[in-house]
A and B are shown apart, each in its own frame.
Chain A
Amino acid sequence: MKYWNQTYECMTRDEMTRVQTDRLINTVKRIFHNVPFYRDKMQKAGLEPGDIKSLEDLKKLPFTYKQDLRDTYPYGLFAVPLSEIVRIHASSGTTGRQTVVGYTRRDIDTWAEVMARTLSCAGATKESFIQVAYGYGLFTGGLGVHYGAERIGASVIPISGGNTKRQLQIMKDFGTTILACTPSYALYLAEEMEEAGIRKEDLHLKAGVFGAEPWSSNMRNEIEERLGIIAIDIYGLSEVIGPGVASECHCKNGLHIPEDHFIPEIIDPVTEEVLPPGSVGELVFTTITKEGLPLLRYRTRDISSLNYEVCECGRTCVRMSKVSGRTDDMLIIRGVNVFPSQIESVLLEIGETAPHYLLIVDRVDNLDSLEVWVEMTPSLFSDEVKMIEDIEKKIRKEIEGTLGINAKVRLVEPKTIERSEGKAKRVIDRRKL
């Protein structure tokens, strides 16, 4: 099946604008009446629900920040009576107080719909066996993919994260065709698979839907090569709905956003101005069908751009470019904005390095220093000191060329950088600011 919902995925721009306008107007009315927080915000900005008549008026609406969810913890932004909420998820809270999101029965239905579109983008059908290796629980990854896969009618293997040996065993024995996990875990699985003597030919894997952390196109190539699959980048965040907010199709040229549910904008994170299509900036979402936790202009902190051209796959809905960094996870080193994914791309372009690296940022004598640890791989290793030093030099030069800062590069022994089964830890910031 090429599309899950051709009507909405391949709508003309005019039709989509009509759908979005209606839904936006309704959402704003509902929010104004049901969420005091938004009513205050809108009144402070001198806005009445009636002022929002078209998509052009979207930019008048106030932004929503992650901090707003924390300040109204746990249920302050919910727009329905709590008795209507059938599911609650929460963020891990590693960067502050946890944020809570609630779903009505219809929200769960919407979520399954958008996630079914995502999985169909990866080629899933009712014949597929989908191994969900995202964590199940408060994290939206596991259950989000799960409901979308069930909606399609695929056979779901709800193994959750971790227990790598069992993952491989099941993948082989159950005939998994689609794997869903973080890209770093996919690579870890590939590594363990090779060590366990399982060849990719022994598996039935056809595709993988990978998200929840930044990864480079080189990392994609490596995953595709080592697992013998097509690797699809998916995007989502719990505040908007969870996984299903955007997904690549087989063209792998940008991630389609189900615009009939979420309206994206790109803004300049500093001036907060809306930027024209194609510009790089912070991605902002307004949900237009959600009932439990509808959000106006939610600041994702993710850096992307939007492309409204019709995709080769036939889908007309807008594509966001792969997230190239975060405005808040961004490291500022000697005044330069550095995203770990940029360094990852540099490393991957040098040889066939497995992308295991660690950035160590420190401040010595009031000056920031960046040290990049890279694990030695068989393809990088040479018997001659000069050749290894040349590799170090090359990595250093490429980082300088890409980021404009000097880094100390240190090659370390294989498998000395800690592996994770969830999100990869790529940065240690020792600066005491």
Chain B
Amino acid sequence: MLVKQISVFLENKSGRLAEVTKILGENGINISALSIADTTDFGILRLIVNNPEKAEQVLMENGFAVSATSVIAIGVEDKPGGLSTALEILARESIGIEYVYAFVGRDGKDAYVILRVENPDKAIDVLTKNNIKVLSSSAVYEF
């Protein structure tokens, strides 16, 4: 159930994001979701792609500092309060969240959210028990 996310170190200067997406595009890698954490000097680009191993390899070959992280992806109902149900479950279990970002699925019914938590295995367990839809990695890579 764990989804492999690729993180890339980027300096805050123009053209860096374009460079990464160009390399991925040229290598036939499709991006399902992305988010950037930024500071004044640098940013960390986080990517969910259809082929994380290849993405990691081609980016490294092009001189980027890259790391892979395990995250979880959940589907929540696309209506007010949809996300809070899931987050409350995690809070009840005292599972801290490092960061969250959302992305859109192709069917348009559910909203999808990537979560980086302290204890992903435990998070998957409690979410599943509480009927929250946790997506399999293969399902996420195909979005």
Show the binding face of A for B, using Cβ within 8 Å.
376-378, 380-385, 388-389, 410-416
Contacts and interface: CB of A to CB of B under 8 A. Distances in A.
Given A384-B98, A388-B42, A413 B69 contact: no
A378 B11 contact: no
B2 to A, nearest CB: 14
A379 to B, nearest CB: 10
B44 interface: yes
Contacts of A384: 44, 98
B48 to A, nearest CB: 13
Contacts, number: 46
A413 B64 contact: yes
B63 A414 contact: yes
A390 to B, nearest CB: 12
A381 B41 contact: no
B65 A376 contact: yes
Interface residues of B, number: 20
A412 B43 CA distance: 11
B67 A383 contact: yes
Contacts of A378: 65-67
Contacts of A376: 9, 65
Contacts of B98: 384
Contacts of A415: 63
B37 interface: yes
B44 A383 contact: yes
A414 B59 CA distance: 11
Nearest to B16: A413
Contacts of A411: 9, 41-42
A389 B40 CA distance: 11
B46 A377 contact: no
A17 B93 CA distance: 79
With a 10 A CB-CB cut-off, give which of A376, A384, A413 has the most chain B CB atoms.
A413
A383 B46 contact: yes
A381 B67 contact: yes
Interface in B57-112: 63-67, 69, 98
B126 interface: no
Contact of B65 (A385, A389, A410, A413): A413
A376 B98 CA distance: 22
Contacts of A413: 9-11, 16, 63-65
B39 interface: yes
B50 interface: no
A385 B12 CA distance: 13
Contacts of A388: 9, 42, 44
Given A383-B46, A384-B98, A411-B9, A389 B39 contact: yes
Given A381-B65, A384-B98, A385-B39, A412 B46 contact: no
A378 B60 CA distance: 10
A406 B93 CA distance: 43
Given A382-B67, A388-B44, A414-B63, 5 more contacts: A378-B67, A383-B69, A388-B42, A410-B41, A413-B63
A368 B64 CA distance: 32
Given A376-B9, A384-B98, A385-B44, A414 B39 contact: no
Contacts of B63: 413-415
A412 B5 CA distance: 22
A303 to B, nearest CB: 33
A416 B64 CA distance: 10
Contacts of A382: 67
A380 B42 CA distance: 14
